[in-house]
């Protein structure tokens, strides 16, 4: 199997293209500063993952920015910190400030010349529009949790995407799903019968950070530690 065998790359965004963990940690600083002692970085991210995943199960149609406000409230309660609701709303709005990984925009612009590019993200449309400006590329399609009414890893999200792409004449075998999260993306991609590429951004830290532990590691057809490595591999296949 080669990267050049595919015609469409479908991407998770947050954790793969946007450095959501840095964005979360920066936006949570005012809350974390009130917790004594402050939890370590990975403990914050793991607590966030637990509350986010639970909230997504209970309120699958809630916009992501609104859902993050509830996650912020749950974190404050768990840490015995009293906060005004306005602080939680501000946290939900912080998505627009989350930075892109340094290699994302350059990689996407290279890949745009060789593939159709599609987003499948657990986000709302307004928040993604802000992130898209940081990525500097026009995607051929954007499918969000707000569009679908559920959050990954619900298989509905992949079913929706595949139905919409099939209507455009794109067969499943032409698609490579590119993502960091084993829990949100590679597991359901396996169930959907999609080839997948793991962008293992957390290779140096270990653990799962802001995503839930998937248990058994899902199958993946390619593994790179960055988008830059993916581009280099494609370039090598094409003879430089």
Where in the sequence is the domain holding 215, given as residue range(s)?
Answer: 3-19+98-237
Indicate whether 10 and 55 sit together in one domain: no
pLDDT of residue 240: 57
Same domain, 191 and 228: yes
Q: Which of these is catalytic: 12, 19, 124, 185?
A: 12
Whole-number Å distance between alpha carbons of 190 and 155: 10
Last residue of a domain, one of 97, 122, 142: 97
pTM (two decimals):
0.95
DSSP 177-195: EEES-IIIIIHHHHHHT-E
Each residue's pLDDT tens digit, 120-170: 999 999 999 999 999 999 999 999 999 999 999 999 999 999 999 999 999
- pLDDT tens for 211-225 read 999 999 999 999 999
Same domain for 127 and 110, yes or no, is yes
Domain count within the chain: 2
CATH classification at residue 208: 3.40.50.1000
Of 53, 78, 97, the last residue of a domain is 97
Reference 174, options 9, 32, 1, 62; nearest CA is 9
The answer on 47 and 26 residing in a single domain is: yes
Quote the mean pLDDT of the chain: 97
Clarify whether residues 92 and 112 are in a common domain. Answer: no
Of 97, 120, 155, the one marking the end of a domain is 97
Clarify whether 12 is annotated catalytic: yes
184, 205: one domain: yes
Looking at the fold, whether 121 and 12 belong to one and the same domain comes out as yes
> Of 240, 239, 179, which Cα lies nearest the Cα of 214?
179
pLDDT band for position 39 (50/70/90)? very high
Which CATH number characterizes residue 39's domain? Answer: 1.10.150.750
């Amino acid at each position: 199997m080669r990267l050049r065998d595919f015609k469409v790359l479908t991407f998770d965004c947050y954790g793969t293209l946007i450095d959501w963990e840095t964005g979360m940690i920066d936006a949570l600083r005012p809350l974390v500063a009130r917790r004594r002692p402050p939890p370590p970085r990975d403990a914050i991210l793991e607590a966030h993952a637990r509350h986010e995943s639970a909230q997504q199960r209970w309120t699958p149609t809630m916009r992501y920015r609104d859902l993050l406000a509830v996650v912020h409230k749950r974190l404050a309660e768990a840490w015995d910190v009293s906060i005004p609701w306005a602080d939680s709303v501000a946290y939900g709005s912080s998505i627009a400030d989350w930075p892109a990984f340094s290699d994302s925009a350059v990689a996407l612009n290279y890949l745009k010349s060789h593939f159709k590019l599609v987003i499948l993200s657990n986000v709302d449309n307004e928040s993604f529009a802000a992130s898209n400006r940081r990525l500097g590329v026009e995607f051929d399609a954007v499918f969000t949790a707000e569009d679908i009414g559920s959050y990954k890893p619900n298989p509905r999200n992949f079913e929706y995407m595949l139905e919409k792409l099939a209507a455009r004449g794109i067969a499943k075998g032409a698609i490579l799903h590119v993502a960091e999260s084993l829990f949100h993306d590679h597991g359901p991609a396996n169930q959907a019968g999609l080839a997948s590429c793991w962008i293992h951004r957390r290779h140096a830290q270990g653990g799962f950070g802001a995503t839930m532990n998937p248990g058994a590691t899902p199958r993946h057809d390619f593994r790179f530690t960055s988008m830059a490595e993916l581009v280099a591999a494609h370039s090598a296949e094409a003879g430089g």
